[in-house]
């Protein structure tokens, strides 16, 4: 792969967008590589948590590649949108927990990619925004929907209509990111969270992710119904027996994902 670096350590993988000369902006080659890698990772049952970050000190992802987009016509725009949406849906629906470690500029399509992840941790140097309307386009990689779901309609509209850039503390204040940490500690803190999640019962974690997504898509009543079914299905797993025996006998448990 030309633009991605993938590392694995036991049950955690780190995927780095590696195009620092263009602030890790997403051209169609980067998006195609992302799609291929996410499809492969989804088949890998050993990986439980995926961390996504950007290469270099300056940017997580400074958006979709403006140089490439400039030449697009309607059909080209549609093709680009299909590709982008397929990647972002793969992230959102991944059977892994996906954590974005946001190390710098997180703009446009970069912010939309972060919004497709389960959890966002940001360095105190990170900057966020969706400046698309200043370029004559909309936040078309899911931004109008996911930003609204995550920060609420009023805040999403303000960001999407003004295109303004906000700092990490403001992003934390409005719920765009889970937590802000000192720049030098971003990866360490992200790993800590990843290990904590990876140490829990994998099926229980992925069923939780499924229940949350189900309710978001189909509404709360359907989500509550689905939650009941998923809860019941936990009692068919060995990990439920292991987890509860471990608790009652005061011993640490190694979950097996079965
Ligand atoms: N695209 C292409 N190149 C980029 C880029 C981008 N988004 N962002 C930065 N670069 C390149 C710069 O052109 C420069 O390249 P050279 O001139 O050295 O060749 C290099 O990265 C370093 O950037 P700067 O020299 O500009 O660095 P500064 O520190 O001065 O400024 C900056 C950093 C992040 C403030 C600035 O680079 C900037 O404003 N970048 C653009 C940010 C932006 O507007 N991002 C949003 C892009 S629009 C779609 C749906 C959605 C989208 C697209 C399609 N469909 C449904 C089809 C999404 C659109 C977007 O994301």
Domain boundaries, the chain: 4-198, 202-249
pLDDT-derived band of residue 214, with 50, 70 and 90 as boundaries?
A: very high
* Fold classified for 202-249: Lyase 2-enoyl-coa Hydratase; Chain  A, domain 2 (1.10.12)
Q: Using H for helix, E for strand and C for coil, what is the string for the chain?
A: CCCEEEEEECCEEEEEECCHHHCCCECHHHHHHHHHHHHHHHCCCCCCEEEEEECCCCEEECCECHHHHCCCCHHHHHHHHHHHHHHHHHHHCCCCEEEEEECCEEECHHHHHHHCCCEEEEECCCEEECHHHHHCCCCCCCHHHHHHHHHCHHHHHHHHHHCCCEEHHHHHHCCCCCEEECHHHHHHHHHHHHHHHHCCCHHHHHHHHHHHHHHHHHCHHHHHHHHHHHHHHHCCCHHHHHHHHHHHCCCCCCCCCC
pLDDT interval class at 123 (50, 70, 90) = very high
Q: Could you identify the atom of ligand 1 that is nearest to the CA of residue 139?
A: 51
Separation of alpha carbons 143 and 200, rounded Å? 31
Task: Read off the pLDDT of each residue in 122-150 and give the average, rounded to a whole number.
Answer: 97
Of 58, 60, 61, 66, the residue with max ligand 1 atoms within 8 A of its CB, to mutate for a pocket test, comes to 66
How far CA 38 is from CA of 78, 95, 158, in Å, comes to 22, 10, 32
Compute, in angstroms, the gap from residue 187 CA to the centroid of ligand 1: 24
List residues near ligand 1 (CB under 6 A). 22-23, 25, 62-67, 69, 77, 80-81, 84, 105, 107-109, 131-132, 135, 137, 140-141
State the architecture of 4-198 in CATH terms: Alpha-Beta Complex (3.90)
What pLDDT is attached to residue 105? Answer: 98
Q: How far is the CA of 109 from the centre of ligand 1 (A)?
A: 10
Residue 102 has what pLDDT?
98
Q: Is the fold of 4-198 the same as that of 202-249?
A: no
Q: Ligand 1, atom 57: nearest CA belongs to which residue?
A: 81
Active site residues: 112, 132
- Note the pLDDT tens digit of each residue in 68-109: 999 999 999 999 999 999 999 999 999 999 999 999 999 999
User: Closest Cα to atom 32, ligand 1: which residue?
Assistant: 62
CA 25 to centroid of ligand 1, rounded, Å: 6
Query: What whole-number distance in Å separates Cα of residue 15 and Cα of residue 38?
Result: 10
Give the residue, by CA position, lying nearest to ligand 1 atom 12: 22
Position in ligand 1 atom list of the atom nearest CA 66: 1
- Residue-wise pLDDT tens digits, 33-51: 999 999 999 999 999 999 9
């Amino acid at each position: 792969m030309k633009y991605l670096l993938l590392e694995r350590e036991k049950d955690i993988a780190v995927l780095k967008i590696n195009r620092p000369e263009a602030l890790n902006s997403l051209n169609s080659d980067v998006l195609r590589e992302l799609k291929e890698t996410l499809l492969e990772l989804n088949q890998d049952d050993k990986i439980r948590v995926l961390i996504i970050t950007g290469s270099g000190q300056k940017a997580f992802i400074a958006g979709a590649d403006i140089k490439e987009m400039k030449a697009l016509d309607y059909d080209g725009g549609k093709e680009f949108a299909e590709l982008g949406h397929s990647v972002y849906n793969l992230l959102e629906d991944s059977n892994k927990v996906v954590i974005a470690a946001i190390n710098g500029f997180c703009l446009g399509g970069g912010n939309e990619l972060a919004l497709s992840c389960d959890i966002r941790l940001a360095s105190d140097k990170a900057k966020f925004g969706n400046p698309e309307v200043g370029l004559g386009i909309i936040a078309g990689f899911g931004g109008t929907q996911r930003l609204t779901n995550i920060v609420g309609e009023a805040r999403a509209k303000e960001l999407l209509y003004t295109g303004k850039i906000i700092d990490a503390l403001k992003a934390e204040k409005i719920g765009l990111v889970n937590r802000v940490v000192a720049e030098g500690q971003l990866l360490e803190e992200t790993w800590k969270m990843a290990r904590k999640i990876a140490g829990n019962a994998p099926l229980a974690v992925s069923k939780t992710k499924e229940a949350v997504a189900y309710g978001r898509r189909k509404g709360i009543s359907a989500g509550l119904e689905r939650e009941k079914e998923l809860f019941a299905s936990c009692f068919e797993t060995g990990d439920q027996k292991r987890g509860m025996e471990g608790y009652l006998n005061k011993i640490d448990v190694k979950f097996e994902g079965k």
